[in-house]
Amino acid sequence: MFIIDNEIHFVRSDMNFVSKFGVELASKMVFEYRSRNHLPFIYDTYQLSHFLDLRRNSLFRLTRNCNDSYRLITIKKKNGHDRIINAPNRMLKWVQSDIARFILNNIPISKYATAYHKGATLVDNAVAHCGKKYLLKLDLSDFFGSITFMQVYSAAFNSNYFPKQIGVMLTQLCCLDDVLPQGAPTSPAISNIVMKNFDDIIGEWAKKTIFLILAIVMI
């Protein structure tokens, strides 16, 4: 579907949806959804396959066999340890890139997140720490691998955004063995979405702590 001059034009992939609800109600549902979300309206697998530019049978086959669509790459880290990268094949990477660009990049993240999103730079990350006496730096072990299928579904593809079947299929396309894979183009953006509440809490706590220290010093 596409919208021109506040009028919805349905295409072939929308016909199952339109037949189910009728043109008037279907149009109302799309407008109501778009008033709440800056995301593509995807109601069923016909629309999902069109959105991902896949044939419907290819979509089902890909979601069923996601775990077979990766290859392992080993990279040496500076400390000498190995970093394991799960690289998606060409088709899955293409699908994940579209999910990241058109869906994940339009889902809210914490204002304290300074990485893994469009426009983020090393300068943004450094500015908040400039002139501070102390800097706490943490490296979470297997960060992506600690984010589960249910966390991805609940944060990024839940029923506020998509019907359950579509949300589950999108989650399957972004997970490997029920966790976020290191190497998928969707994993960085999803981690920001999943960690939004955590980032907000830690960000506000750090801000209050700084103000408290300043107040004590001034006293």
Ranges of residues in the chain whose predicted pLDDT is under 70? 115-134, 136, 210-219
Tally the C-alpha atoms within 13 A of residue 63's C-alpha that lie toward its C-beta.
18
pLDDT tens track for 76-121 = 877 777 888 999 999 999 999 999 999 999 999 998 887 666 666 6
* Identity of the amino acid at 192: N
Angle at 173 between CA 201 and CA 101, to 5 degrees: 65
In the prediction, which pLDDT does 79 show?
A: 76
Cα(67)–Cα(64) distance, rounded to whole angstroms?
Answer: 8
DSSP letters of 126-173? HHTTTT-S-------TTTGGGSBHHHHHHHHSSTTTS-HHHHHHHHHH
Residues whose CB falls within 8 Å of the CB of residue 79, separated by 6 or more in sequence, listed in order:
none
Cα(87)–Cα(208) distance, rounded to whole angstroms?
Answer: 41
In the prediction, which pLDDT does 83 show?
A: 82
Cα(40)–Cα(38) distance, rounded to whole angstroms?
Answer: 7
